[in-house]
Amino acid sequence: MHAYRSHTCADLTSANVGENVRLSGWVHRVRDHGGVLFIDLRDHYGVTQVIADSDSPVFAELEKVRSEWCIRIDGNVLARDESLVNPNLPTGEVEVFIRDIEVLGSAAELPLPVFGDQEYPEDTRLKYRYLDLRREKMQDNMKLRSDVVASMRKRMWDKGFREFQTPIITASSPEGARDFLVPSRLHPGKFYALPQAPQQFKQLIMVSGYDKYFQIAPCFRDEDPRADRSPTDFYQLDLEMSFVEQQDVFDTIQPVITGIFEEFGKGRAVDQTWEQISYRDAALWYGSDKPDLRNPIKMQVVSDHFAGSGFAIFAKLLETAGTEVRAIPAPSGGSRKFCDRMNAFAQKEGLPGMGYIFWRKQSADSIAQERGITVKEVNALIKSGEITLGNEAAGPLAKNIGPERTEAIRVQLGLEVGDAAFFLGGKPKAFESVAGKARDVIGKELGLTDLNRFAFAWIVDFPIYERDEETGKIDFEHNPFSMPQGGMAALDGDPEDVLGYQYDLACNGYELVSGAIRNHRPEIMFKAFEIAGYGKDEVEKRFGGMVNAFQYGAPPHGGCAAGVDRIVMLLADADNLRDVIMFPMNQRAEDVMMGAPSLPQNEQMRELHLRALPPED
């Protein structure tokens, strides 16, 4: 028999009854039923119940074991009594009577439990990550991650792509975040960088004539952490293709992503048709370039209904160029209690509040006030048929702008009695993000968001440039390496009108994929950077390897990268990226388990010709 096991803890069934077996694993929990010990023995594959009573030759030794001890047991497979069968376990029909035991590794008192699903402080979980990873949920998450990556690879190979590895130590290249710099021992005073993405290398692979490339690529960015972003490193499904247009990239990656979500989505609906939404429309309708389309709410501009109205705040605001008022429809949200709750939400987000209107059935009281008669008289008129109760708008805004304007707003938004609308005004960039968050909250609180679905949309037509309102300076708003729509001719007009062949894929409120058709023409690239204030010398200095390569017959090419961590996070129903990464950093970009970052040895600093300055107070 093998030294440690004849079967895993998921293998045994009623077909094994009567066999002598050997199992190894961790003590998941111990139950003492008055002279009979029941131990749930767990390994990577599953759980088997093992038992011992006073007849077992190792009963006294078994009484010493505790949770998370690593043990080996030998014993006989017994059939459980029919009333004790556990249908939730693959091994639930049997148990193993222990004849021999070997303690492979005893465990000290646990800093956090493995049994159950208790929540512990994140730093405790990360400091003892090897224990945290033993938990069933974490085991499932990491197996899911491995399976997703394997499926990605297979799907890419099936599409005719080959996987090539790109360097981990390279030159600094601005990709929109801070580099991690690596000092050179052999070249004192100079630094390498860890790649923020394989962007330049994968483009050079296309110049080299390889046509289709992919890689499960590690990327390194010195970023502030968020729930959906790692502060140090992450992995992406990176791909690039030659002789393609934007739609070719979409047609390539869509079946890969769709297949992954169908394979691992636990039966949830997966959108088969992916809408293409312009960046500007996404900002207008959803307040985000990564909208959650499970929520059907679309925001609309309603400025005309407030211009010159009795609501002075919006009326005066609209006199300033570049301002507008947008409405967030809230079907079924027509109660003052809900409207007040959303107003408080806006205040927590740093705004003075959110105006609102809700529509209700007209009351005798409101008609009495409007006509200057008593409620009794109104009721008599209703009874006689001279008055029919209609709909009325309620809320402070409704009183200020009057019934004609509120009715026009209701008709534009397609709302009915029992519905509401919320309003934000100003320069869109100042309130769009809050409006987008409000839309998400409204959709979830009112039960409008379909939580059992993966909803995808391509966000396209990103502007390449933006103008600083204070200085008037033009700079890149998005990827500077995207091919401008219209090529060189597009760069002769207003820079703020120039759109790029750049695209993102949004799913359930997250950006999953980002990519572009690349600017492979040196003359267009130099012109594009010149508009943003970067001269030819600066471009050649910063991106010399790629610019030089483009002078030797570069093919049209494009591609994208899909975030592996975010995809797995969605599939695992996790709220935090750190729950799907084996050994993540904490919120302060620290590895509390391994003690990183750490102070270097003086000898290391001397070898690198470096001196560390004390932090500024």
* 417-433 tens-digit pLDDT: 999 999 999 999 889 99
Among candidates 253, 227, 158, 240, which has minimal Cα distance to 199?
A: 240
| Confidence label for 613 from pLDDT (cuts 50, 70 and 90) | confident
Compute CA distances 215 → 154, 155, 177, 411, 526, whole Å. Answer: 12, 12, 21, 51, 29
Q: Where are the domains of the chain?
A: 14-105, 118-243+556-591, 268-293+451-554, 295-449
Sign of CA dihedral 359, 362, 363, 365: positive
Average pLDDT over residues 467-496: 88
| Whether 197 contacts 561, CB under 8 Å | yes
| Confidence label for 386 from pLDDT (cuts 50, 70 and 90) | low
Is residue 306 helix, strand or coil? helix
Strand partners, 20: 76
Compute CA distances 584 → 130, 180, 541, 592, whole Å. Answer: 12, 17, 35, 10
pTM of the complete model: 0.91
Candidate CATH numbers 3.30.930.10, 1.20.140.10, 3.10.129.10, 3.40.50.300; the one for domain 118-243+556-591: 3.30.930.10
Give the Cα-Cα-Cα angle 363, 369, 372 (nearest 5 degrees). Answer: 130
* 118-156 tens-digit pLDDT: 788 889 999 999 999 999 999 999 999 999 999 999 999
Q: What is the dihedral of CA 479, 436, 422, 456, to 10 degrees?
A: 100
Proportion of the chain above pLDDT 90, given as a percent? 76
Three-class HEC string of 333-383: CCCHHHHHHHHHHHHHCCCCCCEEEEEEECCHHHHHHHHCCCHHHHHHHHH
Candidate CATH numbers 1.10.10.10, 3.30.465.10, 2.40.50.100, 3.30.930.10; the one for domain 268-293+451-554: 3.30.930.10
The predicted structure's pLDDT at residue 538: 87
411/406 Cα distance (integer angstroms): 9
DSSP single-letter state for residue 600:
P
Residues making up the annotated binding site for ATP are 221-223, 511, 563-566
413/425 Cα distance (integer angstroms): 17
| Whether 130 contacts 111, CB under 8 Å | no
Q: What is the CA radius of gyration of the chain?
A: 32
The predicted structure's pLDDT at residue 370: 64
Residue partners of 367: CB distance under 8 A and separation at least 6 = 378, 387, 389
* 164-205 tens-digit pLDDT: 999 999 988 766 678 999 999 999 999 999 999 999 999 999
* 543-592 tens-digit pLDDT: 888 889 999 999 999 999 999 999 999 999 999 999 999 999 998 899 99
| Confidence label for 372 from pLDDT (cuts 50, 70 and 90) | low
Looking at the domain that runs over 295-449, which CATH code has it been given? Answer: 3.30.1360.30
Compute CA distances 378 → 99, 370, 381, 393, whole Å. Answer: 90, 11, 5, 19
Helices (H), 374-427: 375-384, 396-413
Structure tokens belonging to residue 522: 């040196």
The predicted structure's pLDDT at residue 385: 64
* 217-265 tens-digit pLDDT: 999 999 887 777 888 999 999 999 999 999 999 999 999 999 999 999 9
Amino acid of residue 338: F
Within 13 Å of residue 284, how many CA atoms lie on the same side as its CB? 10
* 332-351 tens-digit pLDDT: 999 889 999 998 999 999 88
Architecture of domain 14-105: Beta Barrel (2.40)
The count of other CB atoms within 10 Å of the CB of residue 523 is 10
| Confidence label for 20 from pLDDT (cuts 50, 70 and 90) | very high
Proportion of the chain above pLDDT 70, given as a percent? 94
Averaged confidence pLDDT in the chain: 92
Is the pLDDT at 161 greater than 70? The verdict is: yes
289/505 Cα distance (integer angstroms): 9
DSSP single-letter state for residue 518:
B
Among candidates 237, 265, 249, which has minimal Cα distance to 455?
A: 265
Answer whether 118-243+556-591 and 268-293+451-554 agree in fold: yes
Burial class (CB in 10 A: 0-12, 13-18, 19+), 357: buried
Residues making up the annotated binding site are 175, 221-223, 478, 511, 518, 563-566
| Whether 19 contacts 74, CB under 8 Å | no
614/597 Cα distance (integer angstroms): 15
Amino acid of residue 91: T
354/344 Cα distance (integer angstroms): 8
Structure tokens belonging to residue 427: 């320069």
Q: Tokens 């962007």, residue?
A: 199
Residues making up the annotated binding site for L-aspartate are 175, 221, 478, 518
Backbone angles phi, psi at 391, to 5 degrees: -100, 155
153/142 Cα distance (integer angstroms): 17
